[in-house]
Structure 1
């Protein structure tokens, strides 16, 4: 199967996600209602939504209410794996080395069991199209199988097939407003 350039795929996926984001707060509440469907894990990494990304904050509240700890990724060096710092919604954030909101350095560094990541598109084989910075790919590779990697997306972000390169981290599943889907 021939694929268009990843830059073209990203542009198309960004436009599609922007349209889907009109259901933003309702979709985010639906995702939070499905928190129990996620795989087990005491420490769950979410992210601070930027632009049209599905907002995980309602999900973070649900995870905390169920007894799980929540953390956020932090880019400390642009070409290195991310670290994770404990976080509770409402705590102050600062911009990290990638320009994303992240917990302050005084927050405890933790290693998550489960990482929920934003994405532009996904397919039914666990393929994920991200922004192109490689932050999650480097981080998952460095964790060497010690973490479950889940996409957080609008169901409409699913595509038939994505190009997957050797360095691309494969998703174990996706949580959307319609439920959780595990990949083989």
Structure 2
């Protein structure tokens, strides 16, 4: 477990450096939104800390006619649900302390989930923050297309995955979209 802890620490530091060194990366990544797999309902996330910001991506996806939603943690050990959202709509903190749509928003089932990450590898391995929210959600919805949204510099050589880790179908970075 300490190996993953050390890996997460190093990946957080690397991501922070990438964010500070390239403030326009999220806009360039959003410019490749048309390369994403098809999906009528797309789940995004609201960036926290040095996560790649989804503002420009949300505008691009909505302009392309895709319906947007955001994850909501209702219980810490359960899969997340997704509520409809459009850029500019109000948000409140969910049970995990993340910005989420208000309870009145419609609950949706996304076709495609855009997920933040700390690191990824060439076979679709993903290192998350460690809370397990996305892994639980992916396990409950194995048919959903899973796409990482990150800086290209977050790629690592090889990641050792555990049984509960579900791989990504692709990753969108400032360098473009890459399918796995």
What TM-score results when the alignment is normalised by the length of structure 2?
Answer: 0.97
Counterpart of 2:91 in structure 1 is 93
Count of aligned residue pairs for this structure pair: 180
Question: Does 87-96 or 25-34 show the bigger shift?
Answer: 25-34
1:76 aligns with 2:74: yes
| CA-CA distance at 1:151 after TM superposition | 0.3
- Whole-Å Cα distance in 2 between the matches of residues 14 and 20 of structure 1? 10
- Whole-Å Cα distance in 2 between the matches of residues 86 and 146 of structure 1? 20
> 1:110 aligned to 92, 108, 111, which one?
108
**Paired residues of 1:81 and 1:139 also in contact (CA < 8 A):** yes
- Whole-Å Cα distance in 2 between the matches of residues 117 and 40 of structure 1? 16
Counterpart of 2:179 in structure 1 is 182
Q: Which residues of structure 1 form unaligned runs of 5+? A: none
Counterpart of 2:170 in structure 1 is 173
Q: Which residues of structure 2 form unaligned runs of 5+? A: none
Counterpart of 1:158 in structure 2 is 155
Give the ranges of 4+ consecutive aligned residues of structure 1 lying more than 2 Å apart after TM superposition. none
| CA-CA distance at 1:146 after TM superposition | 2.0
Question: Does 16-25 or 57-66 show the bigger shift?
Answer: 16-25
Alpha-carbon RMSD across the aligned residues, in angstroms, is 1.2
| CA-CA distance at 1:12 after TM superposition | 0.1
**Paired residues of 1:24 and 1:54 also in contact (CA < 8 A):** no
> 1:36 aligned to 34, 37, 46, which one?
34
Question: Does 16-25 or 116-125 show the bigger shift?
Answer: 16-25
- Whole-Å Cα distance in 1 between the matches of residues 138 and 18 of structure 2? 27
| CA-CA distance at 1:31 after TM superposition | 1.2
- Whole-Å Cα distance in 1 between the matches of residues 114 and 35 of structure 2? 13
- Whole-Å Cα distance in 2 between the matches of residues 182 and 23 of structure 1? 26
Q: What are the within-5 Å matches in structure 2 for residues 1-150 of structure 1?
A: 5-23=3-21, 25-143=23-141, 145-150=142-147
The verdict on how the C-alpha distance between 1:24 and 1:56 changes in structure 2, with shifts beyond 3 A counting, is farther
| CA-CA distance at 1:25 after TM superposition | 4.0
What TM-score results when the alignment is normalised by the length of structure 1?
Answer: 0.95
| CA-CA distance at 1:161 after TM superposition | 0.8
Instruction: Tell me the SS of whatever aligns to 1:99.
Output: coil
